[in-house]
Structure 1
Amino acid sequence: MVAPDQSPPLAQKHEVDAYAARVEDAGDTGHSDSIHSDTPLSPPKLTPRRFMACTAMAFAWTSGQMPPYLWGAIPPIIYGDIGGTDRWVWFITANLICLAAICPFVGALSDILGRRYVVIMGSLFIIVGQIVCTTAHTMNVFICGMALSGVGAGINELTAIAGTAELAPTSQRGIYVAALIMTILPWCPSVLWAQLIAANSGWRYVGVMIIVYTAVGLLVAVFFYFPPPRSVTSTLSRKEVVQRIDFVGGLTSVAGITLVVAAILWGGYTYSWKSVHVIAPLLIGVFTFAAFVCWEIWSAKYPMIPKNFGKAPRTLSILLLISFISGANFFSVLMLWPTQAFNVYGHDPVAVGLRGLPFGLGVMLGCVITLGLMSRLRGRGIRWLLTVASCVMTAGCGALAAADLDNEKIVYPILLIAGLGVGGIVVPTSVITTIITPDEIIATMTSLTLSIRVIGGAIGYAIYYNILVQKLTPLLIARVSGAMVASGVTDADTIEAAIGLTASSLIKPILALPGIDGNVTKWDAVVIAGQSAYADAYQWVYYCSIAFGGVSVLASLFVEDIAQFMDDHIAVII
C-alpha cells in the first residue's frame, strides 16, 4: 500500500499539467484529474500511454469474466472427478456473492486511492483463486477458489468499467466502453473452449489458462497503468481513508443476501420448505438486510450508498432496479443454458460448445449496439433504448421455453435475441450511471450498480435453479424409471441409481448398471427419457423469467433523457 499522495510518472504529470493549462486558458479553473469546462475542448489524443492504460482495463475486464464463463460450462465434468453433486451449484453462487460483496469496499477505496493498486490486487485474487480451483480435490475447496476469484472479479470488473469511463470524454463513454466490451470477443465461445480443453487435456487446464491470461494482464497494469491520484485524497491520511469505508454496511448487506440465497437454494431441494434449515436463514437474512437499510439511512457516517444520488436521482434509482432484473436473467441463462445444451441435446464437447455461442455473441452485440446508439444520440431517447432492450430480453428469454428435443436449430436465433436484449441492459446501465454521477464517486456508483446486478444474478439463479429442481425431480422419476422398466430392469436400487446419475448429468456410468450391461439400445432409451424430462423442466425457468422482464420493461418507461450530461468533459487524464 502506498500513501494516497503518490505522484504519477513525470511524463504523465507534464501531460496532465499541459491539459490543465488548456482548460484554464478556456476559462475553467478545475483541476487536472477532473475537468469540467463550458468551452468545448478537443479531447487528448490516444497516446501510447493512454492506449496501454486502456489495454490494462481490457485485461482486467476479461479476466474477471473468465472463471464463471469457463467453469460454468463444465460442472458435470468437474463434479464427476472431485464429487460434490449435492453442492456444486455453490461454486457459481459463491463467486457471484463474493463479487457483489467486495464491490462496495473497492468502489470507495478506488475513489479515494485511485485505480492502479486495486486492479493489481484484483488480478492477484483471481490468480490465487484459480490456483486453488486447479489443484482442488474436493468440491468444498473448489468453491473456496471460486469465492476468491469472485473477489478479484468484482475488483477488476468495476475498475475496468469505471477506469475506462473516466478516461473518455463524457459524450464518448458509450463508444469507449463498447470497445472495452468487444475485448471479450475471444471468450464468447467460452463453453466451446472449456469443453475442448476438458475433453482433450483435462478440466484443470481450464484454470491454468485463466491463471496465465490474468498474469499477463497483471504485468500490463504494473508497467503501464498510472492514473493520477483522486482529488478527494489530497488531505486524507491512511487512517482517514480506512474510516471512510462502510464496513458495517458491507458486512450486513452481504450476510443478509447470502442467507436469503442459501434458503432459496436449500428450500424444497436439500431440505423441506417448512424445515428450520430453510426458515431460519430466510428470516435472519431478511432481518439482517433490513438492519443494513436502517444503518445506511440513519447511522452510517460514510454510507455505502451515497446520499448524493447524482444529477438525476429518479433515473439512477430506476437504473439500479433494471440492473437487478437484467442480472437475474443474464446469469441464469449464462449458467443454465450450457447445462441445458448438455442435458437435452447431447454431450459431444464441440456441439455443446457451439450451442453456447449465440447467447454470448448476442450479449456482446447488444452491449455494443446500445452503447453506440447512446453516444450517437448523445443521450437522447435513452428511455426507448432501454425499453426496447428490456422487451427484447423478455421476449427472448421467455421464448426459450419452446426449446424441445426436436427443435434445436430454432433455439439458436432465440438465444441470439435473448442475448441482444440482456446485452442492451447489463453494461449500458453501468455506463449511464457514470454519466449522471459526480466524478468524485464514479467508482462508488459503478460498484453499487455492479453489486446490484450480481446480487440479482445470485438471487435469480437461486430461484431458477430451485424451480428447475422442483420440476425436474418428478419428471425424472417417472420417465427414467419407465424407460428402465421397459428395458427389463425392475430392481429398485438400480432404477434409483439410474435416476441419480441422470439427475447429475453423468450418463456414461448408466451403461454399467445391472440390466443395462453395456447394451447401447437400452442405454439410449434411458438417456432419451432423461433428455425429455430435462426439456420439460427447463421451460418453467424461462416462464419465470417473463415476470422479471416485465418489471424491467415497466421501469424503463420512467427513465429520463441524459442529453444534458453528455458533454466532452473527461474525469481523468492519463
Structure 2
Amino acid sequence: MDRSLFLLLLLLDGNSPVGCRLSCGSQRCATYIYGRMGSRDLRLLKNITSAYVLECSRCRLTAPTAGEIQPASFSTTCCPIPIEYSPQSEHQVYRRHGDFRPYGDDEDHDHETPMTFRRFMGFTAMAFLWTGSQIPVYLFGEREACGIPPYIYRDIGGTDRWIWFVLANLLALAGICPFVGSLSDLIGRRYVAIIGSSLICIGMIISSTAKTMNVFIGGMAIAGAGAGINELTALAATSEMAPTRKRGKYVAILIFTIVPFCPSVLWGQLISYHSNWRYVGALAGGWNGLGLLMTLLFYFPPPRVNSLGLSKAEIISRIDFVGGFLSIAGLVIFLAGLQWGGYQYAWNTAHVLVPLIIGFFLMVAFALWEVYGAKYPIFPSRIKQEPRILGLTLLITFISGANFFSIIMFWPTQAFNVYGQDPVGVGLRSLPVGFGILTGAFVTLWLLSLLKGHNKALMIVSSCLMTAGCGAMSIARVDNLHQLWGILIVASLGIGGIVVPASIMTTIICPDDLIATISALTLSIRVVGGGIGYTIYYNVFINKFIPNANHYIGGVMLEKLHITNMTYIAGAIQLTGISLLEGLRQIPGIAGNEAAYQAVVTAGQIAYAESYKWVYYTSIAFGVLSILAACGLGSIEKYMDEHVAVVIH
C-alpha cells in the first residue's frame, strides 16, 4: 500500500489524531499511527495495513504494524510504540517495555516536564497532604506517654485503654491502604485525596470535642483512615509527576516539608501545658483543612490510563470489593488481637485468640481470592517486574517498621519516664529522633537520584546504622543521657534511610499505572511490621518492668520508707506505670515528704531504665535480618531515566 494513501486515510478520519505524539530522541517522530477510533474503522485500518511496515523517520528502524507487534521490537527509545486495543472498551493505551510503562495520552513522557505554576501548586498540595497525614498521631500520641496522653486521660478518663487511640489510628491506616491504593490507580488521585483530607478533618473534630475516651478513639480511627489515604496519595502522586531518575530528589523535598512538625512532642506539650490539649486537634484539623482546599483548587491530574475509555459501570466492575473487604477486615482484626495480647488480656484468652484466628484466616482468604478468584485483583501479577528486588525491599520495609517503632514509640516514653517530665525537656529530648529520621530519609532519597540507583549500598548502610544505633540504645541509664544523643542520631538516620526510600524504590521498579498500589502495599507492610514489632517489644518490656518495679519501687518503700502496706506499694507501682507521678504525693508515708517522693520517683526511673534496654536488645535481631536482606538486593540502575509517568503542565 502506498504510504501517502495510508497517511491520507488517517487525515480523513476525524476521530484519529494526526501525527505521532511520541518522543523520538530529541525531536518528534514523523511516523503516523492510529489513535482513538471506532471499532469498525479500526478493524478496517488494521486490515488495510496488515502488511504495512511503520518506519521511524529518525532512526530508520522498522517494526510491524499493530497486528504483528512484538514487545521486544520496541526496546529502544526511538522505535514506534505498540498500541493495545480493547474491543470491549474501545480504548487504546500506548505501551513501552511491555506492560511496564503504559501511555494513555499524547504527551511527551520521555523528558522532564517544565515546572509551571500549575505543576508547582500540584506538588504543594501533595506536601500539605503528606504533612497533614503525619501530624495528628505525631501531635496526639505516637510518642505515647511523653506526649499529651496524660493530659487527655486526666480530662476524659480512659487510663485503661488510652493506648488504643494510637493503635486505632495505625490499624485504620494499615487496613485501608491496600484497597484505596488500587482504587486510586483506577479512578484517579484527586477524589481519593479529597476523601482522605475530609476524613482527617472529621476525625480531628470528633477527637477534639470528645468527652469520653471511646469517642476520642473513634475520631482517631477515622483520622487514621484519612492519613493512610493521604500519605500514599502524596508519595504516589509526587513519584509519578517526577522523572524516574529524579524521583528520589522530588520525594526528598516532599518529606522535608514536615520540618516544622519535627518537634511535635514539644509543640504538643507546650499547647497542652499552657492551654488545652483540645487545641492540638484544632491545629491538626486546620492544617488538613488547608490541604483539602489546596487539593480542590490546584491538583488536577489527567485521567488514569487504567480507566481510559471505560464507562462508569466498567470502572465499578474493576473494583475488587471482595478483596477490599477481606484485606481491611483481616488486617484490622488480626492486628487488634495482636495488640490486645499481653497488654489488656492474656494471650490464651478468647479476647486475643479469636481475633488472631479470624484475622489470619481472612488474610489467607484474601491471598487465595487474589490469586484464584479476582478478575481484577488489588495486586496484579504485573506488579512483580523485579520479583527479587521487590520481595527483599518489602522484607526490609517490614523489618524497618519494627525498628522504627522501637525508637519512635519507646524512646520518647523512656525520655519521659527515666529523665524527667518537664514538658520542654521532654520535647527537646525527642528532637534527635524527628530530625534524624527526616535527615536520613532526605539524604538517602537524594543519593538515590544522584547516584542513579545504588539501592543495594544505600540499604546496607542504612540497615547497619539502624541496627547499631538501636542496639547501642541499650546502654541507657538514669545518669548517662549525654551519651545517648549521638546514638539516637545514628539510629534515626538508619531508620529514616529505609522507611520512605524503600517505598520509592518499589515505585521505580513497578508499572507506572500501579504506583499507588505498590505505595499502599509498602505502607501497610511497614505498619504491620511496626505492629508486630511493637507487640514483641511491649511484651518484652512489660515482662521486665513488672519485676523491676516490684524490686526497685517496692524495695525503696519497704526498706527505706518503711511502708509495709501492700496496697500502698501496689498503688505507687501502678501510678508510676501510667506516668501519673503527682499521685504519689497522696499515698500515706509519701504525702508531705518530698524526700520520700523523690526516692520513689528515682526508684521508678531505675526500674524503667533496666526494662527499656531489653527492647533494644531485641531490636538487634530485626536489624540483622534487614542487613542480610539488603545484601541480596539487585540494581535498579536500568530504570533510572528521564521517563515521567504522569505529565501535568
Distance 1:232 1:293, change over 3 A: closer
Letter in 1 for 2:501: P
User: Would you say the 8 A contact 1:510–1:516 is kept in 2?
Assistant: yes
Larger CA deviation: 250-259 vs 168-177: 250-259
Per the TM alignment, residue 416 of structure 1 is displaced from its structure 2 partner at its CA by: 0.8
Q: 1:406 aligns with which of 462, 479, 489?
A: 479
Per the TM alignment, residue 172 of structure 1 is displaced from its structure 2 partner at its CA by: 0.6
Partner of 2:466: 393
> 1:70 and 2:144 equivalent?
no
Aligned residues: 553
Q: 1:128 aligns with which of 173, 193, 202?
A: 202
Larger CA deviation: 359-368 vs 457-466: 457-466
Letter in 1 for 2:425: A
Larger CA deviation: 422-431 vs 72-81: 72-81
Q: Distance in 2 between matches of 1:46 and 1:463?
A: 47
> 1:49 and 2:118 equivalent?
yes
Q: What pairs up with 1:87-166 in 2 under 5 angstroms?
A: 87-166=161-240
Letter in 2 for 1:176: Y
Partner of 1:230: 304
Partner of 1:382: 455
Q: Distance in 2 between matches of 1:44 and 1:36?
A: 8
Partner of 1:85: 159
1:303-351 CA distance string (max 9 Å, x none): 2222112431211111111111111221332122221111110000000
Letter in 2 for 1:521: A
Q: 1:201 aligns with which of 275, 288, 291?
A: 275
> 1:460 and 2:533 equivalent?
yes
User: Would you say the 8 A contact 1:472–1:534 is kept in 2?
Assistant: yes
Per the TM alignment, residue 177 of structure 1 is displaced from its structure 2 partner at its CA by: 0.4
Distance 1:52 1:492, change over 3 A: same
Q: Distance in 1 between matches of 2:589 and 2:28?
A: 86
Q: 2:346 aligns with which of 272, 280, 283?
A: 272
Partner of 1:434: 507
Letter in 2 for 1:139: M
Q: Distance in 1 between matches of 2:461 and 2:108?
A: 33
Partner of 2:447: 373
Larger CA deviation: 392-401 vs 489-498: 489-498
Distance 1:243 1:400, change over 3 A: farther
1:308 is paired with a residue whose SS is helix
2:410 is paired with a residue whose SS is helix
Per the TM alignment, residue 33 of structure 1 is displaced from its structure 2 partner at its CA by: 5.1
Q: Distance in 2 between matches of 1:313 and 1:323?
A: 15
Larger CA deviation: 183-192 vs 289-298: 289-298
Q: Distance in 2 between matches of 1:336 and 1:245?
A: 39
Per the TM alignment, residue 466 of structure 1 is displaced from its structure 2 partner at its CA by: 2.3
Q: Distance in 2 between matches of 1:268 and 1:331?
A: 17
TM norm structure 1? 0.92
User: Would you say the 8 A contact 1:35–1:569 is kept in 2?
Assistant: no
Q: 2:595 aligns with which of 521, 525, 529?
A: 521
> 1:471 and 2:535 equivalent?
no
Per the TM alignment, residue 51 of structure 1 is displaced from its structure 2 partner at its CA by: 0.9
Higher relative contact order (CA 8 A, sep 6+): 1
2:23 is paired with a residue whose SS is helix
Per the TM alignment, residue 86 of structure 1 is displaced from its structure 2 partner at its CA by: 1.8
User: Would you say the 8 A contact 1:265–1:466 is kept in 2?
Assistant: no
Instruction: Identify unmatched segments of 5+ residues in structure 2.
Output: 1-16, 30-79, 82-93, 95-102, 142-146
Q: What pairs up with 1:559-570 in 2 under 5 angstroms?
A: 559-570=633-644
Letter in 2 for 1:262: A
Look at both structures and tell me which one has the larger radius of gyration over its CA atoms. 2
User: Would you say the 8 A contact 1:468–1:537 is kept in 2?
Assistant: yes
Per the TM alignment, residue 491 of structure 1 is displaced from its structure 2 partner at its CA by: 2.1
Q: Superposition RMSD on alpha carbons, in Å?
A: 2.0
Per the TM alignment, residue 246 of structure 1 is displaced from its structure 2 partner at its CA by: 2.4
Q: Distance in 2 between matches of 1:511 and 1:214?
A: 41
Partner of 2:23: 23
Partner of 1:447: 520
TM norm structure 2? 0.82
Partner of 2:320: 246
Per the TM alignment, residue 67 of structure 1 is displaced from its structure 2 partner at its CA by: 1.2
Letter in 2 for 1:433: T
Larger CA deviation: 182-191 vs 267-276: 267-276
Q: Greater share of helix residues, 1 or 2?
A: 1
Q: Distance in 2 between matches of 1:547 and 1:430?
A: 22
Letter in 1 for 2:268: A
User: Would you say the 8 A contact 1:260–1:281 is kept in 2?
Assistant: yes
Letter in 2 for 1:52: M
Partner of 1:552: 626
Per the TM alignment, residue 370 of structure 1 is displaced from its structure 2 partner at its CA by: 0.9
Per the TM alignment, residue 131 of structure 1 is displaced from its structure 2 partner at its CA by: 0.8
1:43-86 CA distance string (max 9 Å, x none): 22211111111000000000000011111222222223222222
Per the TM alignment, residue 362 of structure 1 is displaced from its structure 2 partner at its CA by: 1.0
2:634 is paired with a residue whose SS is coil
User: Would you say the 8 A contact 2:306–2:513 is kept in 1?
Assistant: yes
Distance 1:443 1:268, change over 3 A: closer
Q: Distance in 2 between matches of 1:54 and 1:34?
A: 22
Larger CA deviation: 299-308 vs 391-400: 299-308
Identity score, percent: 54
Q: Distance in 1 between matches of 2:618 and 2:332?
A: 22
Distance 1:259 1:219, change over 3 A: closer
User: Would you say the 8 A contact 1:69–1:334 is kept in 2?
Assistant: no
Per the TM alignment, residue 459 of structure 1 is displaced from its structure 2 partner at its CA by: 2.0
Distance 1:468 1:76, change over 3 A: farther
Per the TM alignment, residue 34 of structure 1 is displaced from its structure 2 partner at its CA by: 8.3
Larger CA deviation: 368-377 vs 471-480: 471-480
Per the TM alignment, residue 32 of structure 1 is displaced from its structure 2 partner at its CA by: 6.4
